[in-house]
Structure 1
Amino acid sequence: MNSDTVEGKWKQIKGEAKVQWGKLTDDDLDVAAGHKDKLSGKIQERYGKSKEEADREVDAFYSKY
């Protein structure tokens, strides 16, 4: 599934993202709204990960859908 599809189904898969990244708040996920770069940025913020590491996690998450 490409990022456009994820953005379109974000409300449905937001719960899965919350399970994977429990430190992200509902507000964080609402701001990200399925946008890969925003989600990656929030993961970097909350978990202190590098951009590359967060991008890899988001890519792996998106590949499930």
Structure 2
Amino acid sequence: MNKDTIEGQWKQLSGKAKAAWGDLTDDELTRTKGDAQQLAGLIQERYGRTREEAEREVRDFFDNNR
């Protein structure tokens, strides 16, 4: 999924992201605007994942929610 598509559909996808990563707040998800790098950074920080693990989770999330 390309960056423009993700950002355009982020309002719909943010609900699914909230279900996937419940510890992230609505404000945090809104601020990312679908930016995969920002989302991975939040997941890394909140869940104690490595950068690679967080990036993989985000990539898998976007791939599964096309």
Query: TM (normalized to structure 1)?
Result: 0.93
- The structure showing larger relative contact order (alpha-carbon pairs under 8 Å, at least 6 residues apart) is 1
1:33 is matched with which residue? 33
Give, in whole Å, the separation in 2 of the partners of 1:63 and 1:2.
Answer: 10
Structure 2's unaligned 5+ residue stretches are: none
**TM-align CA RMSD:** 0.8
Q: Equivalent pairs: percent with the same residue?
A: 54
SS of residue paired to 2:24: coil
Q: How many pairs align?
A: 65
User: Which of structure 1's runs of 4+ aligned residues deviate more than 2 A?
Assistant: none
Structure 1's unaligned 5+ residue stretches are: none
Give, in whole Å, the separation in 2 of the partners of 1:35 and 1:4.
Answer: 10
Query: TM (normalized to structure 2)?
Result: 0.92
1:48 is matched with which residue? 48
1:10 corresponds to 2:5: no
Instruction: Report how far residue 27 of structure 1 moved.
Output: 1.1
